[in-house]
Structure 1
Amino acid sequence: MARDNKPLLRRARVRTLAVSAAALTALGGTALAEIPASGAGKPKGNDVSSHQKNVDWAETRAEGGRFTYVKATESTTYRNPYFSQQYNGARSAGLVRGAYHFALPDKSSGKAQAAYFVKYGGRWKADGWTLPPAVDMEYNPYSKHACYGMNPAKMVGWITSFSNEIRRLTGRRPVIYTSARWWNRCTGRSRAFAASHALWVARYSSSPGELPAGWSYWTIWQYDNGSGSLPGDQNLFNGSVSQLQRFARG
């Protein structure tokens, strides 16, 4: 995801202005500035956080952007100070947009983080312009404990709790952002979510590659970590623009 510059813990986050070789390896490839051939013709999008500050959304639209995800919250203590400009500005420029939450499962319960997220940006409505709320599940950027000190059963329980509360509050299941390597390691290759949760897969390579356990289809693919034509990270939607709007409507 696009990284913030005002951290919860001084924001020693991976994939800021430069991505370490280790982080890229964990995501299964190298950064790509151009759209991979396997994604030709698919709607382009991006994701942003406070690192991008006030985004020029008209320019983003002119560069081909059709959708975006904006970071809203992290844990239960951080809110993106640029959220309103980014979220509302994207809609004003004609982009389908949604909000995402960076999960820190070792800080508080899934239910508590879901409630905080919805309160501060993670709402949804069936207007065709609002993407379902998304949760960012990835390596712990603050500790050597990649899986936040949780065994697979506890991690699956945390994600289930987060998902159930999001559905209760918004009527939608969250999109799950993750990489195959993190998911298979930290959830024990859980297949519990694939049938009911759209996948936003992170892999910086020429193809999405092998997907996290359970999924046979990706909805969004993050293929680049910030070197493309759009602000922040570069994404593709697996369908047409009309299908993107239908996905937003639910």
Structure 2
Amino acid sequence: MARTSRKWLWRVLALLLLVAIVAGAAAWWQLRGWTPDRARYPLQGVLWGMEDGPANWPALKANGAGFVYLEASSGSFARDGEINTQMERARAAGLAVGAVHRFDPCQPADPQAGNFATVVPRDAELLPPVIDLSKTQDACDQTISDAAVESELTTLLNQIETHTGKPAILKISSGAEEHFKLANRIERDLWLSRTWREPDYAGRPWTLWTANPYHAYEGGESTVRWVVARE
């Protein structure tokens, strides 16, 4: 009797596991094709970097993207040497273009600003620049205070704004915001991220929202990070 009960238990558990797998797969496929309601958010676009693979800019335009932000530089040294080529191709497809710098809290602002300026031209047609703060200083070789990180970030914002001639947007992850609490201390428009649901972790409205980091578009070889803009 006990052996029979165990068999039924294993069958039930196996069935529940199968249901969970099927439901997860269905949710995944739904997510790949999902974008926020265009009636609420008519202006939508993508975030693209070298690790995302080749981008089909005309196909993205045909799939409803109106703009693209390109990850141009990171820290003091890493950069996309093909950024200007990608800008030209995206513009040729009819997309507005902007550039993103990934801020490294372990490094000072001056060389990071220089890295950005090396690859991103002074161009009045570019969208406002974006500074991405996604990690903390926990992995730095030396101890760096939160106040020092905030000071360097502010310096970087000012230097990149001087280079581009436009106010920058602060792209901050939920983890970085939880650690630093900068959204209400640095007066810049915000770029937040959360899949499916609008993000609210900054305590004030967002300007840009990464809504789907796994969007598959018709004509593309890989997924892209789908972004919406609040008009």
TM-score (norm 1): 0.69
Change (3 A) 1:123 1:192: farther
Q: Provide the C-alpha distance between the structure 1 equivalents of 2:201 and 2:71, rounded to a whole number of angstroms.
A: 23
Who is 1:57 aligned against? Answer: 57
AA matched with 1:109: P
Picking from 196, 203, 213, the partner of 1:225 is 213
The corresponding residue for 1:86 is 86
CA distance 1:200–1:189, change in 2 (3 Å): closer
Question: What letter corresponds to residue 175 of structure 1 in structure 2?
Answer: I
Quote the offset at 1:121 in angstroms: 1.4
1:238 corresponds in structure 2 to 230
- For residue 119 of structure 2, what is the amino acid of its counterpart? Y
User: Which structure 1 residue ranges, 4+ long, deviate > 3 Å from structure 2?
Assistant: 36-41, 143-146
Question: Is contact 1:37–1:206 with CA below 8 Å preserved after alignment?
Answer: no
Counterpart of 2:120 in structure 1 is 121
User: Partners in 1 of 2:53 and 2:202 — Cα distance?
Assistant: 32
> Any idea what SS the aligned residue of 2:68 has?
strand
In 2, Cα distance between the equivalents of 1:191 and 1:206?
21
* CA distance in 1: counterparts of 2:37 and 2:139, whole angstroms: 36
Distance 2:186 2:52 in 1: 31
The reply to whether residue 112 of structure 1 matches residue 111 of structure 2 is yes
1:147-175 Cα deviation digits (max 9, x unpaired): x9533211211111101111222222221
Matched, 1:160 2:154: yes
More strand by share: 2
Is the counterpart of residue 182 in structure 1 residue 176 in structure 2?
Answer: yes
1:198 aligns with 2:189: yes
Task: Decide which of 128, 131, 152 is 2:127's aligned counterpart.
Answer: 131
In the alignment, what sits opposite 2:77? 77
Q: How many residues align structurally?
A: 196
> Residue type of the partner of 2:197?
S
* 8 Å contact from structure 1 (residues 223, 234) kept in 2: yes
- Return the letter of the residue paired with 2:103: A
CA distance in 1, matches of 2:61, 2:143: 41
- Measured after TM superposition, the shift of residue 139 of structure 1 is 2.1
Structure 1: runs of 5 or more not aligned = 1-30, 240-250
CA deviation profile, 1:59-111 (whole Å, cap 9, x unmatched): 111111101100111112112143233221111111111011111121x3113
2-side partners of 1:36 and 1:190: how far apart?
Answer: 24
Checking the alignment, whether the CA contact within 8 Å between 2:83 and 2:119 is kept in structure 1 is no
Q: State the match for 1:145 in structure 2.
A: 139
Q: CA RMSD of the aligned region, Å?
A: 2.6
User: Which residue does the alignment assign to 2:198?
Assistant: 207
State the Cα deviation string for residues 102-153 of structure 1 (Å, max 9, x = none): 11121x311321122022116441x3xx21111110026xx9639x953321
- Percent identical across equivalent pairs? 21
- What's the secondary structure of 2:170's corresponding residue? strand
The corresponding residue for 1:246 is none
Following the alignment from structure 1 to structure 2, what is the Cα–Cα distance between the partners of residues 132 and 123? 11
In 1, Cα distance between the equivalents of 2:96 and 2:171?
A: 18
More helix by share: 2
Per the alignment, residue 27 of structure 1 pairs with none
- Residues 190 and 151 of structure 1, relative CA distance in 2, 3 Å threshold: farther
CA contact (8 A) 1:48 1:71 kept: yes
Q: If you compute each CA radius of gyration, which structure gives the higher value, 1 or 2?
A: 2
Distance 1:35 1:96 in 2: 19
Preserved CA contact (<8 Å) 1:109 1:161: no
Partner Cα separation in structure 1 for residue 47 and residue 178 of structure 2: 24
Tell me the secondary structure at the aligned position of residue 183 of structure 1: helix
- Residues in 1 aligned to 2:150 and 2:121: alpha-carbon distance in whole angstroms: 21
How far 1:38 moved relative to its partner? 8.8
Counterpart in the other structure of 1:14: none
